[in-house]
Amino acid sequence: MDKNSNNEDRAFKAKNILITGASKGIGRAVSKELSKLGANIILLSKNEALLDSIYDEIIETTNTTPCIIKCDLSGLDEIKTQEIVNIISQDYESLDCIIHNAATIEKMSNIEDFDLKSWEKILKVNLTSSFLLTKSLLPLMKPTKNPRLIFTSSGVAFEGKAYWGAYSVSKGGSKVLSEILSDELEHIENFKVFNFNPMATRTEMRAMAFPAEDPNQLKNVDELIPYYKWMISDLSNKSNKVNISYGDDI
């Protein structure tokens, strides 16, 4: 192992990181990679079978023991959020990072035909859950060194487009929420908030939104890992940017 690898291991070793939507796609890839670097990953997802699968994989391939939290974010409220806080508090004295990655599209539709049930579910999963979890877990984060909040974003957070409906609204809301939090937490040394747009990436959600697209022409989720590492590590301490996109210089 070279010197750079050793430095990287030390940067992530024993960090406590909550990742929502950790059972597949970007969340799964980031969970696996950070576990290899020694981070303690708290895996949150609604899919119990996939949670068990990634838990077993991390146990078998790393020296860390992740924590599993099964939760459907579409039903998250203040009581269930406090239950999550209690679980995390029992196992960890502090929390270094939250990666808000869970998201759903549900449907592509014009606004006129968008049903209220789908609209509310998308907003709850993609936006309201991030608000509830962040609000309730901040006390565990503030005392840590280099605390981080990371929101996984989208191009439609910056420019609304036809048929993206509630998904675009939710991602636009997350963008603004991240900017608000960055401003409010600025007084805490090295507390950074990022809104990261992974751009076109080979995921199930991308396939649902663009069914005619050739997935082989898209980048793999593993190509996003350097950005998540940079955002979490002290390398980003001097950055004043909240909005980061794949392809940006870091």
Contact 24/43 with Cβ under 8 angstroms? no
Measured between alpha carbons, how far is 60 from 46 in angstroms, rounded to an integer?
A: 22
Contact 54/61 with Cβ under 8 angstroms? no
Q: Residues 55, 92, 167, 228: which is the catalytic one?
A: 167
Strand order in the sheet with 192-197: 67-70, 40-45, 16-20, 97-100, 148-152, 192-197, 243-245
Which letter does DSSP use for residue 13 in this model? T
Contact 206/26 with Cβ under 8 angstroms? no
Give the C-alpha distances (Å, rounded to integers) separating 37 from 73, 209, 221, 225.
28, 33, 18, 12
228 is catalytic: no
* Range 197-203, long-range pairs (CB < 8 A, 24+ positions): 197/153, 197/154, 197/155, 197/157, 197/158, 197/243, 197/244, 197/245, 197/246, 198/26, 198/152, 198/153, 198/224, 198/227, 198/246, 199/155, 199/245, 199/246, 199/247, 201/26, 201/246, 203/25, 203/26
> Any bridge partners for residue 45, and if so which?
70
Show which residues are catalytic: 167
